[in-house]
Structure 1
């Protein structure tokens, strides 16, 4: 099992997006203490109502991850999640390929369909087209990354005999798809390298417009189903499963360590490959203390 540190997000209106610490220093500490990746989310135009009810601001994930790449050597650079329908897929492909090239092949592209109607409206994207636009992105990304001529006619664009460089180092850049719906799981089985089930309970599932994930036994069944569907589709590569561990107590890694270790071991046993952890702190010293404590409590013993 491998671990990702999700850079803490700034809630509501107040605070600075770097309150959790300078990104280059945090990324270096994430790597130093044994994590395998760093991730950032995306909300380019969050609604005031959502922010007032507990929503959060974000940095642009690609710019932030490029900054983190320059301060590290081996960390995976993960969008968790970027909303594919927000961007023309040519621009999404170019941005991801550029980051992969500059980082030496360390990008993982976590994608979601999005759920905030107000943000879609602010960006001029039709909310009701989000699934069509998402599937178009899945079509275009590997063709763009191939470096070979291709043509594609989408809902709002027509690309004729285009050739895009740079080719990313990875062929393809791994795509992880988020969401709990049967449609999301089918997309993973057929077209992606990883599944990000959304944990966090019924309230978050309602907000994010995705079914509740259910208990660990249900997650185990769905993981097996996704991998069986991938095998039935003729795919031979391993499908990663990425799980956000949301237990409030993990913000104090040395407290109840045996309980958390047992919970993480259970997730590994049912097939989870990556665990996403966040300190949820928005203060530099607390972030650094958390990374050191989590590394020594869980990551050092795993190695």
Structure 2
């Protein structure tokens, strides 16, 4: 199993000059300790994740600071963009990083984000599917037809040309089984999470993804399934709980309106009880939170369900120094799951 780091910041930064210190320091650790990738999100107009409005900008900053780790969009909200811009931005990063770019594509879900492209909100899923071959063709150097400022149709190609001849793509899938099947049909990898699923519910979705790959002529064994999980590994379960409980509750509170609609059984909980319920769910069954042994066992369960890569979300609000000090414990989990 591969291990990567993923960012989706929700924290108060009193010093703007230190806003991205955790990103840089953790990415350096990942780069030096055989982690596979660093995943960078796209999020707009809200403190929850809003430190990353353009993942290509963050990736470009990391491209000059790292040598080995893959730099991945997790994810590009494709309906907010023209594929021309996506390929231009990420080809630049591919050059700076000497060919370490991968992209996950998302359809988007928050209507307010679509002030950037309001006409695409209703058909955002169809738009994403339609633009996948366009992205691939532009990355390969082919041109597309666009109307210019004079009203004439012209053929345009993107520059700079990337280092990699092909673009490795993921589709972001939350809980809808049809999304997993769509990823399989398109021959894409999958980026998913345990926000609205448990491990037992994830396994049949991965099986459906593999079956869809095979039905549509793609090798079912070659697609990669990456699962995002909230992560803080430490010396003991109790020690981790003491560090993460307060910041994790604040993290959940900041996004409660986004996720409570997905869990019907949460209707009986309100306020603090709602947050406590969610925290206990994550801590006990849905995250890498706890000791090395506890988290290794959870990673093994993910592998048994069909997950190929764990993308560890580390910036949910625990203090930066504590988060960085926890990374060697996460590396112990990585090495236990993938011995050299």
TM range, smaller chain: 0.7 to 0.9
Corresponding residue for 1:243?
A: 227
Q: 1:184 aligns with which of 163, 179, 183?
A: 179
Q: What secondary structure, in the 3-state scheme, does the structure 2 residue paired with 1:176 have? A: strand
Aligned pairs for 1:111-130 (under 5 A) are: 111-121=105-115, 124-130=118-124
Contact kept in structure 2, 1:121 and 1:127, CA below 8 Å? no
In structure 2, the gaps of 5 or more residues are 237-290
**In the alignment, is residue 199 of structure 1 matched against residue 183 of structure 2?**
no
How far apart are residue 243 of structure 1 and its match? 0.6
Contact kept in structure 2, 1:89 and 1:137, CA below 8 Å? yes
In structure 1, the gaps of 5 or more residues are 202-212
Q: What secondary structure, in the 3-state scheme, does the structure 2 residue paired with 1:220 have? A: helix
The count of corresponding residues between Structure 1 and Structure 2 is 277
**Is the alpha carbon distance of 1:193 and 1:129 closer, same or farther for their aligned partners in structure 2, counting shifts above 3 Å?**
closer
Contact kept in structure 1, 2:177 and 2:205, CA below 8 Å? no
**Is the alpha carbon distance of 1:170 and 1:122 closer, same or farther for their aligned partners in structure 2, counting shifts above 3 Å?**
closer
Corresponding residue for 2:50?
A: 57
Corresponding residue for 1:4?
A: 4
Corresponding residue for 2:21?
A: 21
Contact kept in structure 1, 2:80 and 2:117, CA below 8 Å? yes
How far apart are residue 62 of structure 1 and its match? 0.7
Corresponding residue for 2:135?
A: 141
Contact kept in structure 1, 2:72 and 2:102, CA below 8 Å? yes
How far apart are residue 190 of structure 1 and its match? 2.3
For 2:226 and 2:59, how far apart are their aligned partners in 1?
Answer: 19
RMSD in angstroms over aligned alpha carbons? 2.7
Aligned pairs for 1:196-275 (under 5 A) are: 196-201=191-196, 213=197, 215-236=198-219, 238-246=222-230, 250-255=231-236, 256-275=291-310
Corresponding residue for 2:322?
A: 286
Q: What secondary structure, in the 3-state scheme, does the structure 2 residue paired with 1:28 have? A: helix
Contact kept in structure 2, 1:242 and 1:272, CA below 8 Å? yes
Q: What secondary structure, in the 3-state scheme, does the structure 2 residue paired with 1:57 have? A: coil
How far apart are residue 20 of structure 1 and its match? 6.1
**Is the alpha carbon distance of 1:240 and 1:19 closer, same or farther for their aligned partners in structure 2, counting shifts above 3 Å?**
same
For 1:284 and 1:63, how far apart are their aligned partners in 2?
Answer: 21
Mark the structure with the bigger radius of gyration.
2
Contact kept in structure 2, 1:241 and 1:273, CA below 8 Å? yes
**Is the alpha carbon distance of 1:234 and 1:151 closer, same or farther for their aligned partners in structure 2, counting shifts above 3 Å?**
farther
How far apart are residue 94 of structure 1 and its match? 1.7
TM-score by length of 2: 0.73
Contact kept in structure 2, 1:77 and 1:106, CA below 8 Å? yes
How far apart are residue 219 of structure 1 and its match? 1.5
Q: Deviations over 1:33-66 (max 9, x none)?
A: 33211112111323xxxx5xxx332222111111
For 1:174 and 1:198, how far apart are their aligned partners in 2?
Answer: 19
**Is the alpha carbon distance of 1:17 and 1:168 closer, same or farther for their aligned partners in structure 2, counting shifts above 3 Å?**
same
Q: What secondary structure, in the 3-state scheme, does the structure 2 residue paired with 1:74 have? A: coil
Q: Which moved more, 1:258-267 or 1:284-293?
A: 284-293
TM-score by length of 1: 0.81
**In the alignment, is residue 100 of structure 1 matched against residue 94 of structure 2?**
yes
**Is the alpha carbon distance of 1:125 and 1:292 closer, same or farther for their aligned partners in structure 2, counting shifts above 3 Å?**
farther
**Is the alpha carbon distance of 1:8 and 1:83 closer, same or farther for their aligned partners in structure 2, counting shifts above 3 Å?**
closer
For 1:224 and 1:239, how far apart are their aligned partners in 2?
Answer: 11
Contact kept in structure 1, 2:25 and 2:324, CA below 8 Å? no
